[in-house]
């Protein structure tokens, strides 16, 4: 046997040893990695993971702030808050599995007395209209029995939250609904607006009216509460709370008595219409209403699609539509004071110029007539206002055609111009001009260019003219105060929760019109005669009213609908303080529908009994 043979290890034994060494090295390496990983988790990042573990046992709940109150000018509460228990679903906790989700919705529906489809519709609607991740409010004003059951069985409903929320309460019911407006939860679209950078999912913001215009004052600041919960989601304690800050209150210029009188009078007629009452010196809106109206409380709970449709439907006369500031109508003879000032300024007539009114007049081969073709006889400016002679103003319109004199004066009085009221949704209206109609004709939007008849029709508030009660109220306010175009507003002041004044609203004047005092006096005297002289068009309504007024009727043709009734009145005469403009769709003559509404409003303002003259006056329009 050789020495090499005696002292050499077998190859199989050398290979096994090598494998042992490699495995041992791998074991040591894996142990080292595990050791250093455990050391990193417990020593290096242990505090961070401990905090995250604690957070898994903590739920942070946003506490919404109560919105500020809305008061009338005397401090009576129009809108405040009440608390409501709401059932909400956390979308992040909702099972992704369809069967599990249906099981949850079915169980929740059983508790609420609803079926599966109802819960699915409510959840889908909330998710589609809310920002991602925000809780889906399934129901508000939930009965205590349901609240207690869900809380006692929280382990069976970990996805369900019971939260206390603030809901708007309308102390005067539907009073001033269009002025007050409504609120709603923020949407994903709201959060994309840079102006809403301070909003979060679940916040409530104003959607219309005062609630929208002064949302930043009313909104307040949200708070938060950190709750300790167990693995089943049950609350086991409160860790920390930051109380919300209530919103500030706003006191409005609205007089509740005037407001209620106007709304009741309009409602009693039963036709769509609107009214506006202003302080002619400050622009304060003393009353503003639109008929039909709506119950703002409906927005405190989820609405069905049919309910939403009814609010906008023409079949129900669109209750949400604020006809006082958003509608556009021909205004009829209430336009005549503007025409008179334009004609007098142009030197066409003087206040003493007499026109023979035979009941009709031919202009450019076209016959224009008074209402019912009734002749008024010889009329000067004052008499033309009293008996509402169309022929007188037809002549003025024809004489001013081509000069734009009538359009210029109309623009000065705010026709076709927004008033700047502090409410959303104001319509601009339309002041027809030759340029406008000729461009429309060139584009194929009408069958003819401008003609003299267009100016004749504009002179009596007809034709293509479009305006609303607010614009006419502001125009008459300027006539009453000597030429100052006041900016109408509904805010009187803002107040803190203790009632201390934060800021008062200061009156604003958009512009000043130079009105000849002699012309103004003649027009005002004619308006007083129209209301309270025996031959006046509204004598049958205002002839027995103990306060002297200056008012003008209007009957506007609005085919295919029936005639629109108008009335605008300044009171007291000759130094007025307020103006009221009323319109009633398809109400007929101004003295038949709109004037009686104005009478009720002025009766409430002056605290006087509304009386009418038996048999009426000699003219009706």
Q: Tell me what the mean pLDDT of segment 559-581 comes to.
A: 97
Q: What is the mean pLDDT of residues 123-128?
A: 82
CA distances from 339 to 3, 66, 74, 398, 412 (A): 138, 51, 39, 11, 12
pLDDT higher at 15 or 159: 159
What is the reported pLDDT for 93? 82
For residue 594, give the nearest of 272, 335, 282 by alpha carbon.
272
Give the C-alpha separation, 184 to 79, whole Å: 15
Q: What long-range pairs does 58-61 form, CB within 8 A, spacing at least 24?
A: 58/226, 58/227, 58/228, 58/229, 58/239, 59/226, 59/227, 59/228, 59/229, 59/233, 59/235, 60/224, 60/225, 60/226, 60/227, 61/163, 61/224, 61/225, 61/226, 61/227
Contact call for residues 36 and 188 (beta carbons, < 8 A): no
**Cα 157 to Cα 89: distance, rounded to the nearest angstrom:** 10
Distance (Å) of CA 262 to CA 266, 328, 330, 487: 6, 20, 22, 22
Contact 424, 211 (CB under 8 A): no
pLDDT digits (tens, 9 = 90+) for 473-484: 999 999 999 999
Contact 337, 552 (CB under 8 A): yes
Residue of 557 and 615 predicted with greater confidence: 557
pLDDT of residue 604: 98
Window from 116-125, 222-231, 525-534 with minimum mean pLDDT: 222-231
Structure tokens at 458: 């504009």
Asked whether the predicted pLDDT for residue 460 surpasses 90, the reply is yes
At residue 122, does pLDDT exceed 90?
no
Mean pLDDT of the chain, nearest integer: 89
| Domains defined for the chain, CATH in brackets | 59-250 (3.90.1310.10), 256-301+323-496+508-606 (3.40.710.10)
Classified as helix, coil or strand, 363 is strand
pLDDT at 25: 67
For 485, the token pair is 């175009």
Q: Is the confidence at residue 163, as pLDDT, over 50? A: yes
Distance in angstroms (rounded) separating the CA atoms of residues 11 and 18:
11
pLDDT at position 22: 62
Q: Which tens digits make up the pLDDT trace of 234-244?
A: 566 666 778 88
pLDDT at 233 over 80: no
Instruction: Give the pLDDT confidence score for residue 369 in this predicted structure.
Output: 96
Q: Six-digit token pair at 372?
A: 């019912």
**Bridge partners, 252 (sequence order):** 491
Name the strand (E) or helix (H) holding 339: helix 336-345
User: Is 544 exposed, middle or buried, given 0-12, 13-18 or 19+ CB atoms closer than 10 A?
Assistant: middle
What percentage of the chain exceeds 90 in pLDDT?
65
Question: Phi and psi of 473, rounded to 5°?
Answer: -65, -45
Task: State residue 546's pLDDT score.
Answer: 96
The pLDDT of residue 95 is 87
Residue 613's pLDDT band (cuts 50, 70, 90): confident
- The Cα–Cα gap between 496 and 490 comes to 18
Q: Which range is least confidently modeled, 66-70, 134-138, 283-287, 451-455? A: 134-138
Of the candidate ranges 240-244, 255-259, 293-297, the one whose mean pLDDT is the lowest: 240-244
Ranges 91-95, 300-304, 336-340, most confident: 336-340
Answer whether residue 7 shows pLDDT above 50: no
Determine the Cα–Cα distance for residues 21 and 565; give it in Å rounded to an integer: 107
pLDDT number for residue 524: 98
Pair 397, 339: CB distance under 8 Å: yes
Rounded CA-CA distance 204/600 in Å is: 37
Three-class secondary structure assignment of 504-555: ECCCCEEEECCCCHHHHHHHHHHHHHHHHCCCCCCHHHHCCCCCCCEEEEEE
418-429 average pLDDT score:
97
pLDDT at 42 over 80: no
Our CA angle for 23, 25, 28, nearest 5°, is 110
H/E segment holding residue 570: strand 561-571
Q: For residue range 171-209, list pLDDT tens digits in order.
A: 999 999 999 999 988 887 888 888 888 887 778 899 999
Residues 6+ apart with CB under 8 A from 264: 600
User: Is the pLDDT assigned to residue 2 strictly greater than 50?
Assistant: no
pLDDT band at 49 (very low <50, low <70, confident <90, very high): low
Instruction: Give me the sign of the Cα torsion angle 28, 34, 40, 42.
Output: negative
pLDDT at 191: 82
Flag whether pLDDT at 10 surpasses 60: no
Quote the pLDDT of residue 179.
Answer: 98
Task: Name which of 57, 53, 50 is nearest 239 in CA terms.
Answer: 57
State the pTM of this model. 0.85
Rounded to whole angstroms, how far apart are CA atoms 335 and 396?
13
Give the number of other Cβ atoms within 10 Å of residue 54's Cβ: 11
Q: Name which residue leads in pLDDT, 160 or 581.
A: 581
For the chain, the straight-line distance linking the first and the last C-alpha, in angstroms and rounded, comes to 145
Tokens of 478: 């300027």
Kindly indicate the confidence band of residue 376, based on its pLDDT and cuts at 50, 70 and 90.
Answer: very high
More reliable by pLDDT, 120 or 359? 359
Question: What pLDDT, on a 0 to 100 scale, did the predictor assign at position 61?
Answer: 65
Share of the chain above pLDDT 70, in %: 87
**What pLDDT is recorded for position 8?**
47
pLDDT of residue 46: 53
Q: What are phi and psi of 568, to 5 degrees?
A: -130, 130
Residue indicated by tokens 């142009």? 346
């Amino acid at each position: 046997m050789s020495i090499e043979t005696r002292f050499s290890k077998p190859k199989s034994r050398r290979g096994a040893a090598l494998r042992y060494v490699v495995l041992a090295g791998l074991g040591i390496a894996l142990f080292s990695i595990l050791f250093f990983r455990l050391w990193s988790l417990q020593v290096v990042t242990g505090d961070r993971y401990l905090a995250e573990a604690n957070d898994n046992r903590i739920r942070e709940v946003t506490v919404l702030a109560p919105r500020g109150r809305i008061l009338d000018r005397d401090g009576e509460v129009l809108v405040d808050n009440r608390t409501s228990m709401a059932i909400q679903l956390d979308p992040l906790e909702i099972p992704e599995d369809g069967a599990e989700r249906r099981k949850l919705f079915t169980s929740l529906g059983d508790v609420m007395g609803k079926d599966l489809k109802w819960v699915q519709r409510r959840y889908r609607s909330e998710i589609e209209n809310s920002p991602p991740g925000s809780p889906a409010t399934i129901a508000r004003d939930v009965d205590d029995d349901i609240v207690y059951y869900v809380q006692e069985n929280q382990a069976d409903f970990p996805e369900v939250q019971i939260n206390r929320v603030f809901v708007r309460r309308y102390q005067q019911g539907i009073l001033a609904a269009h002025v007050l407006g409504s609120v709603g939860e923020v949407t994903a679209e709201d959060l994309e607006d840079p102006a809403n950078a301070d909003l979060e999912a679940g916040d409530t913001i104003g959607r219309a009216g005062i609630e929208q215009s002064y949302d930043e004052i009313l909104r307040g600041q949200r708070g938060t509460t950190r709750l300790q919960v167990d693995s089943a989601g049950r609350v086991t304690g409160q860790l920390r709370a930051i109380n919300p800050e209530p919103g500030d209150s706003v006191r409005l210029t609205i007089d509740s008595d005037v407001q209620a009188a106007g709304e009741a009078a309009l409602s009693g007629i039963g036709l769509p219409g609107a009214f506006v009452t202003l302080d002619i010196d400050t622009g304060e809106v003393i009353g503003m209403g639109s008929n039909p109206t709506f119950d703002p409380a409906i927005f405190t709970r989820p609405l069905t699609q049919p309910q939403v449709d009814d609010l906008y439907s023409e079949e129900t006369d669109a209750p949400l539509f604020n006809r006082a500031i958003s509608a556009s109508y021909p205004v009829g003879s209430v336009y005549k004071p503007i025409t008179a000032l334009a004609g007098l300024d142009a030197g066409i007539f003087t206040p003493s110029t007499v026109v023979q009114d035979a009941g009709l007049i031919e202009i450019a081969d076209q016959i224009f007539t008074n209402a019912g073709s009734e002749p008024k006889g010889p009329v000067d400016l004052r008499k033309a206002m009293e008996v509402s002679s169309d022929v007188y103003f037809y002549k003025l319109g024809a004489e001013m055609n081509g000069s734009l004199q009538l359009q210029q004066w109309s623009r000065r009085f705010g026709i076709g111009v927004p008033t700047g009221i502090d409410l959303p949704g104001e319509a601009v209206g339309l002041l027809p001009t030759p340029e406008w109609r000729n461009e429309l004709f060139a584009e194929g939007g009408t069958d003819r260019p401008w003609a003299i008849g267009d100016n004749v029709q504009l002179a009596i508030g007809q034709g293509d003219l479009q305006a609303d009660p607010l614009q006419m109220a502001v125009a008459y306010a300027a006539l009453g105060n000597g030429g100052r175009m006041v900016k109408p507003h509904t805010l009187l002041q803002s107040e803190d929760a203790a009632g201390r004044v934060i800021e008062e609203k200061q009156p604003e004047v958009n512009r000043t019109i130079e009105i000849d005092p002699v012309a103004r006096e003649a027009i005002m005297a004619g308006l007083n005669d129209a209301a309270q002289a025996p031959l006046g068009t509204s004598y049958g309504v205002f002839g027995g009213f103990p306060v002297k007024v200056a008012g003008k009727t209007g009957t506007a043709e609005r085919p295919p609908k029936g005639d629109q009734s108008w009335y605008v009145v300044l009171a007291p005469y000759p130094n007025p303080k307020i103006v009221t403009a009323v319109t009633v769709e398809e109400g007929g003559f101004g003295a038949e529908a709109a004037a009686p509404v104005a009478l009720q409003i002025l009766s409430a303002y002056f605290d006087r009994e509304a009386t009418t003259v038996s048999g009426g006056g000699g003219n009706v329009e």
